[in-house]
Structure 1
């Protein structure tokens, strides 16, 4: 996974996440949408064969990078719980 920030403002971020597809981005979008600080979380994959996924997150004033970190921490926590049960 390679992340490239395209735009970064006080309350929004647009980034490209190379090497990922709907599997990860849909999961990330789900946990971002659950966050009360998130106004909008969406992603777009221009074309599955030639396009890199773009993620856009807008917040209510919270740092968008911190919001993404929180969502990823939730994903890691759920994966850890699953691994302990196997």
Structure 2
């Protein structure tokens, strides 16, 4: 995965991801949206045949972009942990 910063202004950032699909970007977007300090989060994939996607983030006034991205990554990690726990529980119940 390669990440390029396309635009970085106070409270707004646009990132371009190469080598990533909707899976990661959708997870990041949903994690960002759940953050009360984030005003707007979205992503786009300009063309299905292109290996690039863009993530757009706008923060509420007085918040730091790096902090928001770290919280989103931690939130996404927590969601994946919950999935793994639920899946393992389902497997153990199936084997009983």
- TM-score normalized with structure 2 length: 0.79
Contact preservation (8 Å) 1:13, 1:65: no
Instruction: Name stretches of at least 5 consecutive residues in structure 2 with no aligned partner.
Output: 89-96
- Specify which structure has the bigger relative contact order, considering alpha-carbon pairs within 8 angstroms and separated by 6 or more residues: 1
How many equivalent residue pairs?
A: 86
Shift of 1:82: 3.6
Structure number with greater Rg is: 2
Instruction: Name stretches of at least 5 consecutive residues in structure 1 with no aligned partner.
Output: none
More helix, by proportion? 2
What's the counterpart of residue 7 of structure 1? 7
Taking only aligned residues, the RMSD between alpha carbons, in angstroms, comes to 1.5
**Aligned to 1:75, what secondary structure does the other structure show?**
helix
